[in-house]
Structure 1
Amino acid sequence: MVADAIIVGAGACGLMCAVQAGYLGKKVLLLEKNKQPGAKILISGGGRCNYTNLFTTAEQFISANPHFIKYALGRWTVEDTISFFELNGIPGAEKTLGQLFPANGNAKDVVRLFTRLCADFGQEIRCGAEVKDIRPLEQGFEVEYEKDGRLDTVSSPKVVIASGGLPIPKMGASDFALRWGRKQALKIVETAPALVPLTITGKDESWYAQLSGNSVFASVGNERIDFEENVLFTHWGLSGPAVLQISSYWRRGETISLNLLPGKDIVPLLEQERKSNGGTLLAAFLQRFVTRRFSEALGKFLPLSKTVAALTKEEINRVYDTIHRFTVKPAGDKGYDKAEVMRGGIDTNELWPKTLACRKIPGLYFGGECVDVTGWLGGYNFQWAWASGFLIAQDL
């Protein structure tokens, strides 16, 4: 037995688990497929790493069991995350919507912190080691992995699977947790890309393409939820924070609705303009709220060359629907190459919520992205990673 536990994956959850185990005097071995630990940490937040969110509650997470995460968030809170980083020389700074970033550093500093603490505790991180199989023994587990073209095995009383999910294959994304879970007859909640741009094809494709590069603050929603943030038009569809957020709640074949003027009502504004300057062209009126290119594109739906005073009641209603209820039917999404996280994963009913131990396989744990817990954009998924890593470490 090489250690008290073997951790599969040296991402956010695996690294936090190793460090917290170190505080408790436990020795672990991390097996990481990539050539360096924390690959997704390094690209998060544009390389700045939005490592938590001040507004974190269970409401910002998607799961077949929405109550599952509550215990973990209560045991390792946002305050715990802030204190952990501050005590280790990384104070936080809030940017927007509760997102905390390193005040004087970036994602590299976050990874360096974890690797330094692992070294201080004597935790070994073995990189370039791709786990091929985990075999339960009478006591503990045998883990088979490949490194430098050679197969090797290590044994341990406990194993933590924190191997992440399917997004960003070029960053070493792995389906190991899902494949191995299915082999063990564990239930898997259907997976799909989440926090991902949406694509538009067919007859509307060219209309969106002409707006490529335009960004507009909007409310984007469906019958389940809506988000107010920027929407970015691209040559293939829609992106930007609001679209990434709604993508986690969108299902193929559904529509989403854009309110291009949230918090306002375009009709009273039109009436006010009609009284004060009825000769204003509708095109010029709309350019007070959106870019010229965007207002010109709306000519497909609206009579831009008419004056405000000349608009009929039907046309005013059409202006309202276009501005406040702009309906979009995405063809699909950009897939795991562009997704930030994976929706679905190991069914939470397979795990004990207080330890994240597998109910059917004693000594085995699942944490982080491979579990059916998916957070919103903006640091929430990191908070789940830290919390799940902490929780598992307490039981090793």
Structure 2
Amino acid sequence: MTWNTLILGAGAAGMMCAAHAGGRTLVLDHAKAAGEKIRISGGGRCNFTNMYAGPQNFLSANPHFCKSALSRYTQWDFIDLITRHGIAYHEKTLGQLFCDTSAKEIIAMLRAEMEAARAELWLQTKIVSVAHTGTEFVVEVEKDGLRQTLKAKNLVLATGGKSIPKMGATGLAYDIAHQFGLAVTDTRAGLVPFTFSDGRFTPIAGVAHPVRASANGAQFDEAMLFTHRGLSGPAMLQISSYWQETHSISLNLFPNGDPFEELRTRRQAQGRRNLTTELATLLPSRLVEHLSGIMDLSGNLADQSDSALRSLCDVLQHWELQPSGTEGYRTAEVTLGGIDTNALSSKTMEAKAVPGLYVIGEAVDVTGWLGGFNFQWAWSSGWAAGKAIAGRP
């Protein structure tokens, strides 16, 4: 069976590409349904983009690579698309846009766009082998217990990274890239909770608090959640993409105020009150109880000199912690690293050394922050590759 374009992966990037790649396009996926990661994202409402999406929100060995696709297909273009399909949405926080009703609306929209472009979709299809004859790609698949050989002028790798293997993530795109001589950068789990092997935060699991988290020169002001395993919440997921093993993270428990001035003012008016009692009005009481076990919080406010208060506040604003690791790909929202951007055209997403081979979405060494940025990269890179394919003679 001969096609113009075969797209491996019916996720966000793959379906977006199929909607723009022109006729005789076939999308292949091993799953029972298309867009499974879309379906579960954002608590089932899909954080489909971010109003402030730009190159500054992405990590890559080449931070300039993402600029072309992001500037030619922006968040506003995708918002126009969902508006045309009548999908209601809202901003949750920090520019994050979610469906009012269900993430399934985004999947239905992409399927409708594919159908309008006459792109076909084969689900529950296993990729057995991929080859290139010099003039066309040959993909052997297994579907319904039968082997079939598919041929195409163009092949698009849109199978994502290694994150959430229980949903079928395998790193297939990296294997195919190696096969065709494309370099793959080191990969690791990103946007993932931290773990501490000693279980130190188990007694305060469930406590949340806004923090400023810092690691490796990056910082984020968002909520943090203590868990039985360690630390989670948006701030921790964000900073995990910058953290390196054996390094520490720094937490400012007062990202929006000056605790020294607040405590000194209270000392003048309420000096007889316990230091822990006053801290518990500024921090969650269970967190204060935990902190009292690892630092000296004894005595009344009146007992604390300016120097003692400054030292305490410095610790609370620069709480250094060294995680044992992260929860890994099992719960990671994305994979950091991927197919080296040096091997690809930033305008078309085509492999420079293998004409007709395209790589899009999470398979590429472009990783967004938490908050809709990775979906925007899927839309932008999928659109760029699809338009390039449709424009080829």
Partner residue, 1:387: 380
Q: Does 1:367 align with 2:367?
A: no
Distance 1:26 1:74 in 2: 26
- Residues 1:161 and 2:157 aligned together: yes
Aligned-partner Cα distance in 2 for 1:353–1:228:
31
Unaligned runs of 5+ residues in structure 1 are none
State whether structure 2 residue 208 is matched by structure 1 residue 212: no
Contact 1:301 1:322 in 2 (8 A): no
Match of 1:245 in 2: 238
Aligned mates of 2:129, 2:344 — CA distance in 1: 20
* Partner of residue 339 from structure 2, selected from 324, 342, 346: 346
Cα contact 2:3–2:150 (8 A) shared by 1: no
Percent of residue pairs identical? 41
Change (3 A) 1:286 1:348: same
- Give how far 1:3 is off: 2.2
Out of 128, 132, 136, which is 2:132 matched to?
Answer: 136
* Aligned match for 1:192, one of 183, 188, 193: 188
State whether residues 42 and 108 of structure 1, in contact with CA within 8 Å, keep that contact through their aligned partners in structure 2: yes
The one-letter amino acid paired with 1:187 is: A
Q: Is 1:5 equivalent to 2:5 in the alignment? A: yes
Deviation per CA, 1:183-235: give whole Å up to 9, x if none.
Answer: 22211110000000000123xx33x1111000001110124110011100001
* SS of structure 2 residue aligned to 1:219: strand
Q: Are 2:101 and 1:108 aligned? A: no
Post-superposition offset of 1:314 = 5.2
CA contact (8 A) 2:345 2:352 kept: yes
Equivalent residue runs for 1:268-287 within 5 Å: 268-287=261-280
Alignment deviations for residues 355-384 of structure 1 (CA, whole Å, 9 cap, x no partner): 000011111000000000000001000000
Of the candidates 103, 122, 146, which is equivalent to residue 150 of structure 1? 146
Q: Which one of the candidate residues 292, 296, 304 is aligned to 2:285?
A: 292
Q: Distance in 1 between matches of 2:126 and 2:333?
A: 22
- TM-score normalised by L of structure 1: 0.95
Say if 2:48 and 2:376, in contact at 8 Å, map to a contact too: yes
Aligned AA (1:44):
S
Letter aligned with residue 303 of structure 1: D
CA distance in 2, matches of 1:183, 1:117: 32
Cα distance, 1:321 vs structure 2:
2.6
Bigger mean CA offset, 161-170 vs 287-296: 287-296
User: Match for residue 40 of structure 1?
Assistant: 37
1:27: which partner in 2? 24
Instruction: State the partner residue of 1:81.
Output: 78
Contact 2:216 2:242 in 1 (8 A): no
> Partner letter of residue 74 of structure 1?
S
Q: Which residue of 2 aligns with 1:122?
A: 118
Amino acid paired to 1:46: G
Q: What's the secondary structure of 1:160's corresponding residue?
A: strand
Mapped partners of 2:23, 2:144: distance in 1: 28
> Which residue is 2:316 aligned to?
323
Query: Are the counterparts in 2 of residues 259 and 326 from structure 1 also a CA contact under 8 Å?
Result: yes
Letter in 1 for 2:6: I
**8 A contact 2:160–2:169 mirrored in 1:** yes
Deviation at 1:300, TM superposition (A): 1.8
TM-score by length of 2: 0.96
Q: Hey, what does 1:59 align to over in structure 2? A: 56
AA paired with 1:94? E
Using the TM superposition, give the Cα deviation of residue 146 of structure 1 relative to its aligned residue in structure 2, in angstroms: 2.1
Check the 8 A contact 1:282/1:303 in 2, yes or no. Answer: no
- Measure the CA separation in 2 of the matches of 1:5 and 1:132: 18
Does the CA-based 8 Å contact 2:23-2:118 persist in structure 1? no
**Offset of residue 170 of structure 1:** 1.1
TM-aligned CA deviation for residue 322 of structure 1:
2.8
| 1:324 shift after superposition | 0.4
Aligned equivalents of 1:135, 1:302: Cα separation in 2:
62
1:99-140 deviation per Cα after TM superposition (whole angstroms, max 9, x unaligned): 11123x211111111122222332110001122322112321
Partner of 2:174: 178
- Take 1:149 and 1:209, find their aligned partners in 2: how far apart are those partners? 48
Deviation at residue 318 of structure 1 after TM alignment: 3.5
**1:20 CA displacement:** 1.7
Whole-Å separation in 1 of the counterparts to 2:349 and 2:315: 47
Bigger CA drift: 57-66 or 266-275? Answer: 266-275
- Detail structure 1 runs of 4+ shifted over 4 Å in the superposition: none
Instruction: Confirm or deny: 8 A CA contact 2:264 2:306 kept in the other structure.
Output: no
What is the identity, as a one-letter code, of the residue corresponding to 2:33?
Q
Alignment partners' CA distance in 1, 2:216 and 2:155: 41
Selected match of 1:224 from 208, 211, 217:
217
Take 1:266 and 1:314, find their aligned partners in 2: how far apart are those partners?
13
